[in-house]
Amino acid sequence: MTLRIAQLANFVGPTSGGMRTALEHLGQGYCEAGAERILITPGERDSITRTEVGTVVRMKAPKVGGGYRLITDPWRVIETLERFQPTTVEISDKSTLLPVARWARKNGIGSVLFSHERLDAMLSLRTGRQLGVAAGVGALYKLLSRTYDAVVVTSRYAAEEFDEVTTPLVRIPLGVDLDTFHPSLGTPTDDGILKLVHAGRLSREKSPHLAVATAAELHRRGVPVRMDVYGSGPHLDELVAIAGNAPIHFHGYIDGRVALARHLAQADIALSVCPGETFGLAVLEALAAGTPVVTANTGGARELVDETCGRWRDANPAALADAVLELAGVPGRRAAARQRAELYDWDTCIQHMLNLHRRLALPLAA
């Protein structure tokens, strides 16, 4: 039986880096394995594009803040799927596209929820509040457990959100492009300045404020430091204010992975400190480029580093600044970072996902 995989991604913005990268690599891997694939995402206008890695359908969708767009009419998605006739659907959305999952179950089509983020952590980071978040998220997840055939999570931290849910959980870590992100692209200059880098969307749920505040704390202590920030988002003005007179440089969004890989490779240490990150693709990209990483002691990013190539501390600037200084003295940290990244390749991730899609498609074939 030929797999016909429908990937659905909602709440997508122009710089949804991690999700976009995962969709691209998974989609390419599905097609190379002989599957037929359709990708449905929100867009500025309706469009259908035939590509070597399947059909890409963009549905006109409104902006909902921060440059993100959200498909609010799931019935249009269902109409498209009825024409494609998938064997499985892979949905990266926990709310708006629930009717699509119900349609799949009604029609004997396997459904996978790809959990790219923890809702409780994301909502807490965005709103600054935790009270009442857990109860609302818990009710939603009980609904999800009755709707999807499987839930894919990328880390143990991400799996914790589903502890009370009976849906089969499958932990499949993402991969990293080990060819594009490589230490050969550059090394830090030995001029006595500690070079830090942060790459990611400048929005509150990604905690860029904490990364910038950590660099500012090092500067306050008199450490010769420079930090380069790559990314765009709605909170740039706040970050500039936090930076003050510290040597922190904001470069905006970097278009092109090779350029980003070069910037990462030229840093001494990468700061990827979001305490609610479910995986941390930015961490893997830095490690693959040979750059060790400081992260928070909670979140999926913590699971990607060990003591040879990283440090983790409480999510506050003073503790993270201490971690930076400690990591800067670890011998062999750059080679260790690359070795750590090599544990996470896209081929392994894709094979696990294909095995899941084949298993869920079997009832349809019978």
Same domain, 13 and 105: yes
Q: Read off the CATH number of the domain in which 240 is found.
A: 3.40.50.2000
Residue 283 has pLDDT above 80, yes or no: yes
Distances (CA, A) of 151 to 46, 217, 259: 29, 40, 34
Q: What is the CA radius of gyration of the chain?
A: 21
Of 160-164, 181-185, 313-317, 328-332, where does mean pLDDT reach its minimum? 160-164
Pick the more confident residue, 259 or 67.
259
Give per-residue pLDDT as tens, 267-281: 999 999 999 888 889
Q: Kindly give, in sequence order, each residue whose CB lies less than 8 Å from that of residue 184, ignoring residues fewer than 6 positions away.
A: 265
Same domain, 227 and 90: no
Residue 132 has a pLDDT of 46
Q: What is the pLDDT averaged over residues 157-171?
A: 78
Residue 160: pLDDT band with limits 50, 70, 90: confident
High-pLDDT (> 90) share of the chain, %: 72
Same domain, 208 and 329: yes
Residue 137 has a pLDDT of 59
Question: Which of 62-71, 263-272, 356-365 has the highest mean predicted lDDT (pLDDT)?
Answer: 263-272
Q: Which of 269, 263, 276, 272 is nearest to 292 (CA)?
A: 269
Residue 165: pLDDT band with limits 50, 70, 90: low
Name the token pair of 227: 């930090």
Residue 188 has pLDDT above 70, yes or no: yes
Same domain, 218 and 292: yes
Domain region containing 158:
4-175+345-365
Residue 266 has a pLDDT of 97
Same domain, 9 and 150: yes
Same domain, 130 and 192: no
**Number of domains composing the chain:** 2
Residue 96 has a pLDDT of 85
Same domain, 116 and 245: no
Same domain, 145 and 287: no
| Sign of the four-CA dihedral 268, 337, 271, 177 | positive
Same domain, 66 and 124: yes
Give per-residue pLDDT as tens, 292-324: 999 999 999 999 999 999 999 999 999 999 999
The CA-CA-CA angle for residues 27, 31, 34, to 5°, reads: 150
Q: Answer yes or no: are the C-beta atoms of 311 and 301 closer than 8 Å.
A: no
Residue 278 has a pLDDT of 87
Q: What is the pLDDT averaged over residues 233-249?
A: 96
Same domain, 169 and 202: no
Q: What's the mean pLDDT when you consider all of the chain?
A: 89
Distance CA(156)–CA(138), nearest Å, equals 18
Give per-residue pLDDT as tens, 88-138: 999 988 778 989 999 999 999 999 999 877 666 555 555 455 544 455 555
Same domain, 60 and 194: no
Taking the whole predicted model, whether its pTM rises above 0.85 is answered as yes
Distances (CA, A) of 346 to 50, 185, 253, 359: 24, 21, 24, 20
DSSP secondary structure, 212-265, as one string? HHHHHHHHHTT--EEEEEE---TTHHHHHHHHTTSSEEE------HHHHHHHHH
High-pLDDT (> 70) share of the chain, %: 87
Of 22-26, 67-71, 231-235, 249-253, where does mean pLDDT reach its minimum? 67-71
Same domain, 194 and 313: yes
Residue 15: pLDDT band with limits 50, 70, 90: very low
